[in-house]
Amino acid sequence: MSDKQESDNAEVVQTESRAYQPAAVPTNKKGKFARHLKRFWWAYLLVFLCGVVLAVCLTIFVGVPRIAQTKVNDAKLEIQGVNVLNTKPDSILLQINSTITTDGSIKANIDGFEGVMYLEDLPDHTPFLNVSFPATNGNKHQQVNISQELQIQNHDAFNNFNVWFAFNETLRVTVEGRTKVKPSGLSTKFGVTFKKTVTMKGLNMFNGTTVTNGKINISAKKGQPNFSATADIPNASYFTLDIGNATFTNFIDDTSIGNLTIPNLLLVPGSNKVAISANLDQVAVLNAVQSAKYCKTGIIPVKLQGAAVLNDGETLQYFLDALGAHNQTVPMDIGSIIKSSLGTTIGCPKSS
Ligand SMILES: *[C@@H]1O[C@H](CO)[C@@H](O)[C@H](O)[C@H]1NC(C)=O
Ligand SMILES: *[C@@H]1O[C@H](CO)[C@@H](O)[C@H](O)[C@H]1NC(C)=O
Ligand SMILES: *[C@@H]1O[C@H](CO)[C@@H](O)[C@H](O)[C@H]1NC(C)=O
Ligand SMILES: *[C@@H]1O[C@H](CO)[C@@H](O)[C@H](O)[C@H]1NC(C)=O
Ligand SMILES: *[C@@H]1O[C@H](CO)[C@@H](O)[C@H](O)[C@H]1NC(C)=O
Ligand SMILES: *[C@@H]1O[C@H](CO)[C@@H](O)[C@H](O)[C@H]1NC(C)=O
Ligand SMILES: *[C@@H]1O[C@H](CO)[C@@H](O)[C@H](O)[C@H]1NC(C)=O
Ligand SMILES: *[C@@H]1O[C@H](CO)[C@@H](O)[C@H](O)[C@H]1NC(C)=O
Ligand SMILES: *[C@@H]1O[C@H](CO)[C@@H](O)[C@H](O)[C@H]1NC(C)=O
Ligand SMILES: *[C@@H]1O[C@H](CO)[C@@H](O)[C@H](O)[C@H]1NC(C)=O
Ligand SMILES: CC(=O)N[C@H]1CO[C@H](CO)[C@@H](O)[C@@H]1O
């Protein structure tokens, strides 16, 4: 009963709506749209084309720069070697062998640019060097070797970098600059920021240095070196440094016992076997090695603090700061040196 009632109502509504339609307009909606399309197809094409152009524009001017920046961010910078040569008070010859690795998914040319280097873990991020980086492409593996004379523009920052480099086991250096990327196939260049932080090994204060072949020269005249030896200095970093004539003040405990010089020090990665000559107060050394503290082993931890760095007669303050900011402790087997040089065995004083 209720079914019949509902269908009757529906019939009424349909009849009513049909009654309101103007008789002249065709009732087929498809036909209506086809007619409309026939007249206004060009407008639809225009809208469509604008949409395509807009999409392409958005991709190029918003998407591509973002992709380019992401690709630059994802690229890996690795350093194989750094040479610091032709060291002068105000300039250095900086050579870097490095590789930039990308996923190679987009071909793009990256302009050369001026980048700054700063210590990532020093909050003020003051650049210690400005370096020109060459143009590169987006190849998977890219060798980037640079060699350039650089003026030291900020001495404090450069000196401080050298202090960190000499002292720390590792340090983080950031390279940062603005450059432009031109994806191949596009004529437009997009600005990107190149920013990479590299964790590098420092000199760790030459931890592990050994001194062998020590010889005391008793016939040495006053002011002439009266001690010579061979030092083996480990360089844990990948830096080669043209340091020059480096002189260190030597301490036993808190007492200065003279100084030692490493002539023409060119520090290379790995082991550095160098000759050293020293002016040591032999009496003070003899007293120390006979003291209760050191007589059992004859080994004295000698502290070294950089006192002068001369290269071609000029002081290199950045290396002097690096070697002078901290003491380096080197165990020296003075007992054996005295035995081999003088034929005397040092024993402990007869205890009372
Ligand atoms: C870079 O590599 C070349 C060739 O192997 C080498 O002669 C040069 O010393 C290296 N430079 C640095 C800074 O490592
Ligand atoms: C760049 O340095 C690498 C070593 O890292 C070396 O093999 C290559 O020959 C160097 N290229 C040039 C052009 O110096
Ligand atoms: C080096 O970098 C500093 C700081 O960004 C900048 O003010 C200076 O102009 C740069 N110098 C050169 C030669 O690019
Ligand atoms: C590196 O050495 C400097 C100077 O001695 C020190 O002040 C700094 O805290 C060290 N930084 C790191 C990250 O070890
Ligand atoms: C120095 O090296 C020795 C091992 O040769 C190590 O035990 C010590 O911790 C190192 N000291 C520093 C400050 O790295
Ligand atoms: C010791 O010192 C004297 C005087 O300075 C010098 O002539 C001599 O060559 C030195 N001997 C050694 C082994 O260095
Ligand atoms: C090293 O010692 C010698 C001899 O005592 C002295 O003439 C010289 O000035 C000292 N050098 C430094 C840098 O202290
Ligand atoms: C090095 O050790 C000596 C002797 O203990 C001390 O007088 C000097 O201040 C120390 N130097 C540094 C930079 O700590
Ligand atoms: C060795 O050199 C030091 C420093 O120049 C000097 O004080 C000393 O008299 C010299 N000779 C001896 C035997 O110590
Ligand atoms: C180191 O000193 C010696 C002797 O004074 C000098 O002949 C030499 O040129 C100096 N080396 C450097 C790199 O300045
Ligand atoms: C990178 C490098 O060559 N490190 C070396 C530094 O010096 C020590 C001691 O000679 C070597 O053990 C490291 O391999």
CATH number of 205-342: 2.60.40
Give the CATH architecture of domain 74-202.
Sandwich (2.60)
Asked if residue 297 lies in contact with residue 175, where contact means CB atoms within 8 angstroms, the answer is no
| Amino acid 148: pLDDT | 97
Residue with CA closest to ligand 4 atom 4: 164
Residue with CA closest to ligand 8 atom 3: 254
Verify whether ligand 5 is closer than 6 Å to residue 204 (CB atom): yes
Instruction: Encode pLDDT of 46-105 as tens digits.
Output: 888 887 777 776 666 667 778 888 888 999 999 999 999 999 999 999 999 999 998 878
205-342 and 74-202 share a CATH fold: yes
Q: Please report the atom of ligand 2 found closest to the CA of residue 99.
A: 5
Verify whether ligand 2 is closer than 6 Å to residue 145 (CB atom): yes
| Amino acid 4: pLDDT | 45
| Amino acid 246: pLDDT | 97
Q: Is the pLDDT of residue 303 over 70?
A: yes
Verify whether ligand 3 is closer than 6 Å to residue 214 (CB atom): no
Residue ranges covered by each domain of the chain = 74-202, 205-342
Verify whether ligand 10 is closer than 6 Å to residue 225 (CB atom): no
Instruction: Encode pLDDT of 161-188 as tens digits.
Output: 999 999 999 999 999 999 998 888 888 8
Instruction: Encode pLDDT of 200-256 as tens digits.
Output: 999 999 999 999 999 998 888 888 899 999 999 998 999 999 999 999 999 999 999
Q: Is the pLDDT of residue 3 over 50?
A: no
User: What is the spatial distance between Cα 109 and Cα 184, in angstroms, rounded to a whole number?
Assistant: 7
DSSP 201-261: E--GGGTT-EEEEEEE-TTPPTTS--EEEEEEEEE-SSEEEEEEEEEEEEEETTEEEEEEE
Which among 176, 168, 177 has a CA at the least distance from the CA of 200? 168
Q: At 280, is the secondary structure helix, strand, or coil? A: strand
Cα 273 to averaged position of ligand 7 atoms, centre (Å)? 23
- Best residue among 168, 207, 210, 232 to mutate for probing ligand 5, ranked by most atoms within 8 Å of CB: 207
Left if phi > 0, otherwise alpha if psi is -120 to 50, otherwise beta: which for 115? beta
As a whole number of Å, the end-to-end CA separation of the chain is 129
Verify whether ligand 3 is closer than 6 Å to residue 127 (CB atom): yes
